[in-house]
Structure formats: C-alpha cells, structure tokens
Amino acid sequence: MNHYELPTSELLDSDRINLSVSAEEEEQKKKKVLKVLDAFAIQVNEVKSKVGPGTITYELGLPHGIDLQQARKYRRDIIWSIAERGVRLQIPIPGKVALGVKILRDERERLPFRKAVESSAFRETEAVLPIAIGMTNDNEMWVKDLAKCPHLLIAGEQSTGKHMLLKSIVLSLLYKKGPDELKFVFMTGADRYAEANRQIQECYWSKLPEVSEPIMPDDKTGMRTIYSLCEEMYRRSDLLRNSRSRQIVEHNQKVREKKLGNNYEVLPYIVVIIDELEDWMFRYPKFELSLSLLGTLSRAVGIHLVAATKRAGHDVISGMLKALFDARIAFSVPQEMNSRLVLDHPGAENLASYGDMLYCKSGKLERIQGFYIDEKELEKVASHIYRQGVPSPYLLPEPAIIEEEKAEEDDELFDY
C-alpha cells in the first residue's frame, strides 16, 4: 500500500473540555483538606492547587524536619475524614518538601480523543509505537511508547474504563502506523466484534494459515495463535541473528537501505490485544506459561502484548505475569490489596469510574484521566482505512503442537 493515507483528526469529534472549576468549589475542598490535616497534627506552610480534567490536586508545603510517618500512619483515616470521592494521598511529592492530595471534581469532563491527536506530544513524538493514554492532572497529554513498555497490563473492575483504554491504544496506533508497518492479533470476546472492529482487523490482520476470517472462530484457535506467535518469535530471532541486527528497528533499516539480500523483508510490528485475561488463564493451564515465554523474548523482534482483566487477584496476576508486564495500569479495584497487587502501591481502591486510572512503570505512579471514544468515531476511522483497500494478511507460521496435547487428543478415554 504505497499510497496509504493515515487518518486525520477531522474524523473525530471536536468537543471542547472545560479545565476550570469555580473558585467556590476549589476553596471549599481546600478548607476541608486543611481542617482534616490539622486534626491529625500535620502542619502546612503553603497550598498550591492545579485543576485537571477529572481532579483537583492540592500541593501542601510542609515545614522542614516534619515526621512523615505521622501522615503515612494515618493515611486511611485521612482519606476517610476528607470524605470526598476519589481521594488519593501522595506522601511525599518527589523532589519537594510537600505532600499531595488529589480529589475528584464535582463535574468531570469527557476527554475527547481528538485532543490527543492534535496535541504536540502526540504529533511530534519520536516513539516507535506511540499510545495516547490520557491527560494528567497537570493537563499534559500522557503519550507512551509501547515498544519501550514493552508490554502493558490493564486491571480494574467492570465499567471503569478498560475497554475505552483499549480503544485509545488501537486508535493511537492506527493514527501513526499503516497496514504495512503494523499488524494486530485480537483475542477478545465475540461481543467486541462490531463492524468497525472487523474492518480494522481485515486491514491489520495477522493470522494462522487455516483461518479464513479475522474473528477467531473458537478458543482453540486462540491458543493455537499464541503457539504460532511463539514460532514467529523464534523465526524473527533467527532473521535478526542472520542479519546481524540487535532489534527489529535496526533490521528494518538495513532492509530499506538494501544492505541485505533479497531474502530479507521489512518485518511489521505485531500488537497482541488480550481482553478478559482471566478467562484464558482459567480455561487453559498452559496459557500463562506460553504468554510468559512469548513476552520474555518478543520485545526485540517487535511483538508486544496488551492484556486487560477485571479480576485483580493472585490467581490471575501472578508473580510471573508481574515480572512480564513492567508497565501496568489500574482502574478502580475493590480493596487496597488489589491495588498493591497490580501496582505495588495503594491508591487504586480510591479511584472513581469512567477513565480514572493510575499508570505505573518502574515504581513511579501517575494519575491519568482516560479518553472517551464514541463508537461512531471508531467507525469513521475504520471506514477511512477500509476504503483504501485490504492488503494481504500477514501469515503466522504453523504452530508446533506439544506432544502432551497430541496424546490427549488421541486418548480414546479422553471424552469420558
């Protein structure tokens, strides 16, 4: 597709958002915070406030020599006493003699995805696989490189914003990469396959040889796809070794500059979207091991994982998976233990719904308000892509079936 045109921002809604709150609301919440801190004998020198798309952040300056253990000890009591939705304490703010209190605004604004596409952070990014996640409390666009994550885990209760975030990730990549540069593998429930999703998959399709349509017809095909991706990872590793390249970027550059023979070709990135991770893990005991194998070795060859789950428990987010997903996002979870399991920090138990999230990488947290994407916007982008023609799908290698599985299939007593 030599004449492929990337989507434009005109395909998205242009709703404006209000990033200001009334002085009365800001002052009222500030007085409540100061009153509670005074009750716990925590002195405050000065107060600064910042208004974001979903929260108000109060930066509370503390006197030198103060014992922060007092604030940490009564963290839960302070949050309970403030009696506001979505309260989160940051003790201390890194690099400052201050602590932070973040409180939800009375009226939260829907954040349109068009604001991300038109932002300088997204337009001018040099990221290989840029994904726009949302807007911070400092009103800065939060754009990350999926290639450097290199895998992303998303956890949170139902109806908190997980699927909207998956839409944001997919749309971000569609706005930056054409079908020749990027392929998707969607492992999601059948209810997610609207016509727009089908069109996107047909244009950005990587598939098994025997599969005839982009929708995975059964769960067995999904597991075979994971095995096939492992085979593709090994195949690409051999290609990079033979071309004397450390990473896929270096390999593709050599191919474009014709430094390699005709037997080499540009390798597209493959992004694997796994929704309802807990269903796959409960049904297939070997799924976690296969996923860990794939994720551990696939970064250099351009295969990246994005997994979402509504069950933030030890039976899903094991130590093996936590080691695999260095970048993690938590939406609202039931308890503090769930927050610590996902992020290694408390705080997600106090988040609100509808896109309020905490992003964690390398132990650093950032509170972010996610985007709202209407289904009609997705349909417009999908139609723009589909009208330009459907390229041939990227064929994955035939998976090697494990001997144990063959034995199970051949066992005459297996069905009993």
Detail the residues annotated as belonging to a binding site for ATP.
156-163
Query: Can you give the pLDDT at residue 407?
Result: 44
Across 99-126, average pLDDT: 91
Across 211-240, average pLDDT: 84
Query: Can you give the pLDDT at residue 228?
Result: 93
pLDDT band at 85 (very low <50, low <70, confident <90, very high): confident
Contact between residue 44 and residue 60 where contact means Cβ atoms under 8 Å apart: yes
Detail the residues annotated as belonging to a binding site.
156-163
Across 71-97, average pLDDT: 87
Across 75-87, average pLDDT: 88
pLDDT of residue 267 exceeding 80: yes
pLDDT of residue 144 exceeding 90: yes
For 144, which DSSP code? Answer: E
Residue percentage of the chain with pLDDT more than 70: 93
pLDDT band at 348 (very low <50, low <70, confident <90, very high): very high
For 108, which DSSP code? Answer: P
Of the candidates 374, 375, 359, 25, the one whose C-alpha atom is nearest the C-alpha of residue 195 is: 375
Query: Can you give the pLDDT at residue 2?
Result: 66
pLDDT band at 84 (very low <50, low <70, confident <90, very high): confident
Residues 6+ apart with CB under 8 A from 228: 208, 396, 397, 398, 399
Query: Can you give the pLDDT at residue 199?
Result: 87
pLDDT band at 404 (very low <50, low <70, confident <90, very high): very low
pLDDT of residue 34 exceeding 80: yes
The model carries a pTM of: 0.89
pLDDT of residue 229 exceeding 90: yes
C-alpha 217/C-alpha 399 separation (Å) is 17
Report the greatest alpha carbon distance in the chain: 77
Contact between residue 78 and residue 40 where contact means Cβ atoms under 8 Å apart: yes
Q: What is the 3-state secondary structure (H, E, C) of 157-168?
A: CCCCCHHHHHHH
Helix, strand, coil percentages (3-state) for the chain, rounded to 5, are 35, 20, 45
Sequential DSSP letters for 163-222: HHHHHHHHHHHHTT--TTTEEEEEE--GGG--HHHHHHHHHTBEE-TT--SSS--SHHHH
C-alpha 53/C-alpha 20 separation (Å) is 8
pLDDT of residue 64 exceeding 50: yes
Length of the chain: 416
pLDDT digits (tens, 9 = 90+) for 373-385: 988 999 999 999 9
Least confident of 15-24, 245-254, 262-271, 330-339: 15-24
Q: Please, what is the average pLDDT of the chain?
A: 88
Query: Can you give the pLDDT at residue 416?
Result: 47
pLDDT band at 41 (very low <50, low <70, confident <90, very high): confident
